[in-house]
Each structure stands twice: as C-alpha cells, then as structure tokens.
Chain A
Amino acid sequence: MTSTKPSARPQDAADNASAESASAAALHVGTSDPLTLITRNLRQSGIYIAFVVIVALFAFMTDGVLLSPGNITNIVLQYSYILVLAIGMVILIIAGHIDLSVGSIVALTGAVSAVLVIQHGQPWWVGVVAAVAVGTAVGAWHGFWVAYIGMPAFIVTLAGMLLFRGLTLQVLDNVSLSPFPAEYQKVASGFLNGLIGGQGYDAFTLLIAAIAVGGYAVSVFRTRLARIRYEQAVESFPLFVTRVLLVAAVVMYFAWQLAHARGLPIVLIILAVLVITYGLMTKNTVFGRQVYAIGGNLSAAMLSGVKVRKVNFWIFVNMGFLAGIAGVIYSSRSNGAQPAAGNMFELDAIAAAFIGGAAVAGGVGTVVGAMVGGLIMAVMSNGMQLMGIDQSTQSVVKGLVLLLAVAFDIYNKRRAGATR
C-alpha cells in the first residue's frame, strides 16, 4: 500500500493529490488502523467508548440485570420522551440556542390532551393531534421572540418555562386527570408482538430488526460505492465490514432481548423514525446544514445569504413539535396529566446533548450523539436504581458526569487549538 502521509513539501502533496485520489490504494486518506482512527476522532468516538464502558460497568455491578430482557424494555419505555426532547434540543444547541421550557411544554401538551380525551370524551387521536399542535404553537411563540425580536433564547424560554407551567395549572384547574383510554396508553406502553408467532420469543421483533439492519447495510454500502465513484477517501474494506457487523450484532442482540420480553415497544418505533429522519435532516438538507453554519459563525452565515431569522424560527417550532410528541408519550406512560409533569425534563435533554458531544459555543453536535448521551444518562440512572443507590447520590453522579463531559469537550478544543 502506498503511503499517504502528507508529503514533506506541501507543493508536492497538492500536485499529487489528484493523481493519488484516482488510485484505489490511496483511497484511505488517513489510515485504517483502528487505534489511530480512534485517537484522531476521540471527540466522536469517545462518547461511544464511554457508553460501552458504562454499560459494561453497570451490567457487571448489577450481575447482568441491566441487560436482562425486561430491564432493557424498561429503559426504552422510561427514557423515550427524554430522547425525543434531546433531538430538538441538540438542534437548538448546534445553532447556539437553548430551550429551558420543554418540561413545561410536555406538561401543557399532556394536559390539553387529557382535558380533551378524559374530560370531554374525545377519541384518543384528537388528544394526540391537539397536543402536537399546541406544542408546535408554543415553539412558534418562542421562535418569534428569539428570531424576530432578537431576544436571547435563555430568557425567552425561561419566561416560557414559567408561562406554560402556569397555563398547565390553569388548563388542569390544579388537579390531576386520569386515566386515559387503553388506545391512548398504548402509545407509550404498547407493544407490537405475536404477529407472526415464535417459540418463546417474538419473531416479529426480530424480523423488523433484521430489516432495519439489512437496510442499514445496503445504505452504507451504497454510500461507500458512491464515495468511491466520486474518488473520495473511504475506510478499508475489512474495517468497513467489521463496522457494519458490529452495528448489526448490537442491534440484533438488543432485538433478541426485546423479543424475549414483551416484543417491540411502539414508542421505540416512534423514536427510531424520529432519530433517522432528524439524523438525515441535520446532515443532508440545506436547512440542517444552515443550522450548523449559524452556530459555527453567525456573521459568516449571514454574509453567505443564510436567512438566519427563518432558520432560527423553524428550529424553535420544531422543538415545540417534538415537545408535543414527548408530551403525548409522557402522559400516555403516566396514564394521565399532572400539574407537575415534566419537571426538569429540559435539564435531562440539555445534558444529553452536551454529553453527546454538542459544543457549548454552538456549531458542533449530532442527533445520534445526543441519543447516546441520553442513553448514558438513562443507563446510569437505571443501573443505580437497580443497585439500590438513593436518589440523592444518583443526582450527584449525574451532575459530575455532565461536568466532566463538558470539561472534556473544552480540553479537546484547547488541544486542537494548540496544534494549529
């Protein structure tokens, strides 16, 4: 294999670049040595390594209970709404904003839904649509003040946190409402299972997982082919296969465990659809890319013709929309609406984004990273609960993890700056 180390003379490197990229051997700009890859992308891969370590640690300390079928199902059901919120939150954080009000929006949308469905006897879907609509409207309200009036999101959403908590109390008239009809409860606690049978496990769950894995493999392989056609750098083939197999193994293990519990949670399907949609949206659409441009350098984005106000407005609308979905999931899971619902959810969502590698100054972060960040929090909480560690200690540990994650981010940035 030809060496692709940058030539000592930059002129040479530039001259050779086009010739090199044409030859297949030189396609690995960089290296296929996993260790080098890991250290080079410490920021990105660090989060995955941390996740694996934390899962292993808690699996060990709970004698494997953490990874038992029932518990995995539990983690999914318990933290899904935080993950939904984290999707919207990381997008705001990339653009350099924040939303402190999402907990209140979850409460308000759940309350609106409960009033319609429980008090007025409307069908379950009316509650869902109304909750999402109210959430979206609240997002538009925030977006208006931030984007068009030019107020800092911190203040606007701090006001929103109070405002919408107050409205929740008024909508509910200060009392809890419950229970929801069975259909509504299914959103958060329902399962798809038994559709095609199985011997002590749910074959349907495994089938869906297999389809997902297959789709993933085809999609990344096509991307790889396109890259090669466009003469771009790709990782070496063995490494590529290893990566795909690793992902497949993790997903199938996860599905296997779910199949041995109660099957495929409906909320997991919702979450998967959202993660895939938003993951692609942020990376591959004009809109998503403009979010990164705004967070990376606001002035440069403006002077490149990005309609900054419009983008800022819509990412808040989107946050409201997702908070509405989270409101439905949460009210469905708790089977009712309470005045204090969703308290502090914003902090969990923000923590998930930052642990997942989003930069405090904006411009950096990914949806998938935020999901992993959220799962780290989820596994830690769940693991500590299984170990019988009390609430206060859990809070201390979570606080420290958030602190260290952001400190790591800042340390990395300084190191990157020093090597410049």
Chain B
Amino acid sequence: MNDVLLEMRGITKTFPGVKALEDVSLAVRRGEIHAICGENGAGKSTLMKVLSGVYPTGSYDGEIWFDGKPVHFSGIRDSESVGIVIIHQELALVPYLSIAENIFLGNERRGRGGLIDWNRTNAEARELLTSVGLDENPVSPVVQLGVGKQQLVEIAKALSKDVRLLILDEPTAALNDVDSAHLLDLLRRLRDRGITCIMISHKLSEITAIADSTTVIRDGRTVETLDMSSGEVTQERIIRGMVGRDLDSFYPDRVSEPGQEVLRIEDWTVWHPVQPRLVVDHAALNVRAGEVVGIAGLMGAGRTELAMSVFGRSYGRNISGRLYMHGKEVRARTVAEAIDNGIAYATEDRKRYGLNLIADVRANVSAAALGKLARAGWVNGNEEIKVAEQGRRDMNIKTRTVMDTVGTLSGGNQQKVVLSKWLFTDPEVLILDEPTRGIDVGAKYEIYTIINRLVAQGKAVIVISSELPELLGMCDRIYTLSAGRITGEVPVGEATQENLMALMTMEKELAG
C-alpha cells in the first residue's frame, strides 16, 4: 500500500501578477483516498488543472511523476490516456443526451462501418451503472436525473475510461445528506477495487470519515500532509493547517462608531433556481450605519446567493423572509425597488454581472441611476460626464478620460468603476461581494480606504470575502455561513481565523 502512484514535485504556476502555486508537492499512494483541503483561492483547483493537463506542460514549473514515470500533458486527453480523470464541481454532462451517450461521449462504442453500436453502448452502460450503484435506464436522458445521480453518471463515465486516478472537485457540495453518504460509500468501494482517488472538499467531517491522507494547501503552498489512518487527526487539527494565513496586507485604521440599524433580514430562505434544494436556510442578520459587517463562508455556503436574493430577488426562487430598512419592513422584489430602498450590490464577478465592458466609463458609472441625470427621460450628457469625472477623481480611477472603454482597464480600476456606479445611486447599505478579488495589493488598499470613507459617511457596508484576514482587518462583526445557514456571529475582537473556520465548516448535524 505504500508505493506512490502520483507525485507532483515543486509545482509553481504564475498568472500575470499572481503566483497561484509556489513549490507545491503532492504524493498520492496507490489505492488511497487522498483529500485536499484549503480555503477558497488557496490553489486547490489550479493544482488539479495542472495535474489534468488543462494547464499544459511548460505553462508551469515542476515535475509530475505518474506510476514511476515522468509525464507531460498538453491537454486533458493526454492525462486521460494514462488514466487520470477529473470530475469538476460543475458537472459536464450534456443534458438532453441519454445516460449511455454521455458515458461514451468522445469515446463511442463503434460497430461495423463506423456506426455506433447501440446494443453494446447500452449494455456496457448498464454494467457501469450497476458498478456505481445507479439503478437507471441507460437510454433515459440525463436531464431527468438529480444532481446526485448525475454525479454517479460522471463516475461511471470515468470508469469507462479505465480510470486509475479519479479526481473529484467538491463532489458533495451540491448533494443532500443521503446522496452524499451514498457517494462516499461508492468511493470506498472504488478504493477496494484499486482505484486511487483525490477528493477536494470543504466538508471536514467527510474528510475525517473517508480519507487515508489529507494534504493542506494554503496560499499556493503545501502546508502539510496528514496521515489519517491512525484516526487521531481531528477536524480542529485540519483547520489549524488551513488558516493561519499571513496577514500580508495592511488595513487602514478606522474608528468604529456604529449607529442605528439600517438593514435587517429575518427568516430569509431561498431555494435554488432549478434544483429542489435550499440555498439559504432561515438566515437572519443586520447591519448598522457606520458599520462594516463581514460574511464568511466557504465555496457553496450561499454567500452570493444570500446577497443577490436580498438585492431585489436577483437570485433564487421561492424566496421568503422579511427585509427591514430602518426598522420598517420594505418591499424589494425587483432590483429597481432594491435600489430605491437604498440597497446596492457590487457583484463578485464584475466582468459578467457588473460592467458593460464594451461601453465607456461614463456609461457604466451612470448605469444604475441614469434617471437622476434625466429630465423627462432626456439625459443631460454633460452632467453625466461630470458625475463620471467625480467618480474618477474620488476613486482615483486610472484612465485617460471617462470616455475610455471599461474593458481596457485593469481589474482594480474596473472594480472602482463598479463602486462609483453604486455610490452614484446614493445607497444606505452597500453589499460588496469579494470586493478585492483578482486585484493587486495596491488597489486592494485603495478599496479598503474607500470602504472606510463610506463608513465614516454613515453608510452601512456588508463585505463578503473568502479571505479571512481581510474580514478580520476590515469588519466590526462577522457572520459565518455554512450550507446556507448562519452558524455564528462574532464581534471582530473575539474572532480568530480558527474559530471562524470552525463555524464555517460546521455542518447541520453538529449545528442542529
């Protein structure tokens, strides 16, 4: 059991301006389940992309040894040819093709004359489905299956390629308890059949239950590899490895003088837009004027979903709960109503949801409150430019003129355009979703300064962030979110990365 199937040595991967991985090493023994843990953005997914050839040889430094030989992958096909298969969190099945067709997609079972041999396809699919414990007709379309069963189809697909190393990225994130238990069971059986497995997971209880070893990654580096076979490694032990990130940024000082409550939600419940599951589960939180409140949660905890559902129900379905502004229940069923009520939401994905990249700075800054610049529907273009210029000066947006296209700006400057846009709506509460994602340290500091200035003006700010030091550095209070439930509310004085992470990984059984 002790020989090594996969070894990654000294992997370093840089993106323009960011070092995503630095000298990462990983050794996976044959026939084990190897868990990889780390905070959001620690580099887990990047490492798996290096391993599976999404980032080809040459785009990173370091070596990969598989089964005793060095390997060089220039694409997913190469890694699959030696038996490494990755199953992504977002499943990659074609919804309207049958289960069997999905299993053999790109790997079709052909008969005479190059035509597909349907009998063989469906028969082999049935065998594979049996081996993953899925009792479904292989000719039924995938769209009819729930997420849990789709996951099993993905695994069946991997098995059809004679998989030797199966990589699962957050396999249970979208599953309910029963499906999760079923999946973990299957992973054990696959291990018994000699299939090695790497599992990325945030659910520490699962890791302690199933993994033979756990490698912890933090800030693009390997922290440690824990041998789980002794059963002595606890969740607390893993958390200690995951956090303890260096406080590498500096946070501008701020005097905290919270005033009256501005926004409060109670009993806030949101369903996934298509899947039958809760995304936000009876959440309650509030924020006061002149206060920065943080929301901490791991991937899939429902942070963005919570924020967007509050912001004019722009996410989810069957939303229930109460929303108060200044103690009075308000109606904000559309984005326009939310803006009218003084709520602003700056998205985590500014390119997709925040900006019109082909338009100029001016049009983006005015986009959410164009009516303020108009009389009888006609926009005063000169006033508009003045407003944009104001934003450019206040935020120090580095652009030649406000008529420059937003798509040509750097990430930090684009983020400042987003902030200018929302400030022009004159909000009372600003929800900032990952406000410093993908921007450099200097721009981060500027964003922090802007947040402090807003709070000093009496605005209420909610910051959603994956970086715990950022929350600890910026917030007055921090809520933790796990699986759609608020699991804790910690004043910043009492908060540490460890106790936050413990709350963030708290699961239903433990919390309930």
Q: Which residues of A contact B (CB under 8 A)?
A: 6, 10-11, 13-14, 17-18, 29, 226-227, 229-233, 284-287, 289-290, 292-293, 296-297, 299-307, 359, 363-364, 420
Contacts of A299 in B (CB 8 A): 352-353
Interface pair B357/A289, CB less than 8 Å apart: no
Residue of A nearest to B367 (CB): A304
Contacts of A11 in B (CB 8 A): 398
Contacts of B421 in A (CB 8 A): 304
Interface pair B353/A303, CB less than 8 Å apart: yes
Q: Which of B36-44, B277-285, B375-383 contacts A (4 or more CB under 8 A)?
A: B375-383
Rounded to whole angstroms, the CA-CA distance of A307 and B334 in the bound complex is: 9
CB distance from A369 to the nearest CB of B (A): 15
Interface pair A293/B378, CB less than 8 Å apart: no
**Supplied contacts A29-B401, A292-B363, 4 more A-B pairs, CB within 8 Å:** A14-B398, A230-B382, A233-B401, A296-B357
Interface pair B374/A293, CB less than 8 Å apart: no
Rounded to whole angstroms, the CA-CA distance of A232 and B334 in the bound complex is: 36
Interface pair A420/B354, CB less than 8 Å apart: no
**What band does the interface of chain B fall in when counting residues whose beta carbon is under 8 Å from A?**
35 or more
Contacts of A29 in B (CB 8 A): 400-401
Contacts of B403 in A (CB 8 A): 233
Interface pair B347/A303, CB less than 8 Å apart: yes
Residue of A nearest to B315 (CB): A303
Rounded to whole angstroms, the CA-CA distance of A73 and B357 in the bound complex is: 42
Interface pair A301/B314, CB less than 8 Å apart: no
Q: Does B330 contact A (CB under 8 A)?
A: no
Given contacts A289-B379, A305-B368, A420-B408, contact A297 B355 (CB under 8 A): yes
Interface pair A304/B335, CB less than 8 Å apart: yes
Interface pair A284/B379, CB less than 8 Å apart: yes
Residue of A nearest to B413 (CB): A10
Residue of B nearest to A294 (CB): B356
CB distance from B346 to the nearest CB of A (A): 9
Contacts of A306 in B (CB 8 A): 367
Which parts of B300-343 form the interface with A (CB within 8 Å)? Answer: 311-312, 314, 334-336, 338-339
Contacts of A289 in B (CB 8 A): 363, 366, 370, 379
Interface pair B381/A284, CB less than 8 Å apart: yes
Given contacts A18-B393, A232-B382, A233-B401, contact A300 B363 (CB under 8 A): no
Rounded to whole angstroms, the CA-CA distance of A363 and B336 in the bound complex is: 21
Q: Which of B354, B357, B374, B396 contacts A303 (CB 8 A)?
A: B354
Interface pair A300/B367, CB less than 8 Å apart: yes
Interface pair A303/B356, CB less than 8 Å apart: no
Residue of A nearest to B350 (CB): A300
Q: What are 13 A-to-B residue pairs whose CB atoms are below 8 Å? A: A10-B398, A14-B397, A17-B392, A229-B382, A231-B389, A286-B378, A286-B379, A289-B370, A296-B356, A301-B356, A303-B347, A304-B335, A305-B335
Q: Which of A10, A227, A232 has most chain B Cβ within 10 Å?
A: A232
Contacts of A231 in B (CB 8 A): 389
Given contacts A29-B400, A305-B336, contact A363 B393 (CB under 8 A): no
Rounded to whole angstroms, the CA-CA distance of A227 and B383 in the bound complex is: 10
Contacts of B400 in A (CB 8 A): 6, 13, 29
Residue of B nearest to A5 (CB): B400
Interface pair A285/B374, CB less than 8 Å apart: yes
Contacts of A296 in B (CB 8 A): 356-359
Contacts of B378 in A (CB 8 A): 284-286
Q: Does B175 contact A (CB under 8 A)?
A: no
Interface pair B382/A226, CB less than 8 Å apart: yes
Contacts of A305 in B (CB 8 A): 312, 334-336, 338-339, 368
Given contacts A300-B355, A363-B359, contact A286 B335 (CB under 8 A): no
Residue of A nearest to B371 (CB): A286
Rounded to whole angstroms, the CA-CA distance of A226 and B384 in the bound complex is: 12
Contacts of B356 in A (CB 8 A): 292-293, 296-297, 300-301, 363
Interface pair A302/B367, CB less than 8 Å apart: no
Contacts of B381 in A (CB 8 A): 284
CB distance from B134 to the nearest CB of A (A): 34
Rounded to whole angstroms, the CA-CA distance of A131 and B468 in the bound complex is: 65
Interface pair B370/A286, CB less than 8 Å apart: yes
Contacts of A364 in B (CB 8 A): 358
Interface pair B335/A285, CB less than 8 Å apart: no
Rounded to whole angstroms, the CA-CA distance of A363 and B358 in the bound complex is: 7
Rounded to whole angstroms, the CA-CA distance of A363 and B339 in the bound complex is: 24
Rounded to whole angstroms, the CA-CA distance of A319 and B359 in the bound complex is: 24
Contacts of B408 in A (CB 8 A): 420
Q: Does B268 contact A (CB under 8 A)?
A: no
Q: Does B386 contact A (CB under 8 A)?
A: yes
CB distance from B352 to the nearest CB of A (A): 6
CB distance from B249 to the nearest CB of A (A): 20
Q: Does B385 contact A (CB under 8 A)?
A: yes
CB distance from A285 to the nearest CB of B (A): 5
Contacts of A304 in B (CB 8 A): 335, 367-368, 421
Contacts of B314 in A (CB 8 A): 302-303
Q: Does B407 contact A (CB under 8 A)?
A: yes
Rounded to whole angstroms, the CA-CA distance of A286 and B373 in the bound complex is: 9
Interface pair A292/B385, CB less than 8 Å apart: no
Q: Which of B355, B357, B359, B386 contacts A230 (CB 8 A)?
A: B386
Rounded to whole angstroms, the CA-CA distance of A13 and B397 in the bound complex is: 11
Q: Does B66 contact A (CB under 8 A)?
A: no
Q: Does B73 contact A (CB under 8 A)?
A: no
Given contacts A230-B386, A304-B368, contact A13 B359 (CB under 8 A): no
Q: Report, nearest first, the 6 A-B pairs whose CB atoms are least far apart.
A: A296-B356, A304-B368, A305-B336, A305-B335, A230-B382, A297-B356
Complex interface bits, B414-451 against A, C-beta within 8 A gives 1, otherwise 0: 00000001000000000000000000000000000000
Contacts of A420 in B (CB 8 A): 407-408
Q: Does B345 contact A (CB under 8 A)?
A: yes
Residue of B nearest to A7 (CB): B400
Rounded to whole angstroms, the CA-CA distance of A10 and B440 in the bound complex is: 15
Rounded to whole angstroms, the CA-CA distance of A11 and B357 in the bound complex is: 23
Rounded to whole angstroms, the CA-CA distance of A420 and B414 in the bound complex is: 13
Interface pair A232/B370, CB less than 8 Å apart: no
Contacts of A363 in B (CB 8 A): 356, 358-359
Rounded to whole angstroms, the CA-CA distance of A403 and B5 in the bound complex is: 55
Interface pair A293/B393, CB less than 8 Å apart: no
CB distance from B374 to the nearest CB of A (A): 5
Rounded to whole angstroms, the CA-CA distance of A289 and B368 in the bound complex is: 11
Rounded to whole angstroms, the CA-CA distance of A304 and B427 in the bound complex is: 13
Residue of A nearest to B393 (CB): A18
Contacts of B357 in A (CB 8 A): 296-297
Interface pair A285/B379, CB less than 8 Å apart: yes
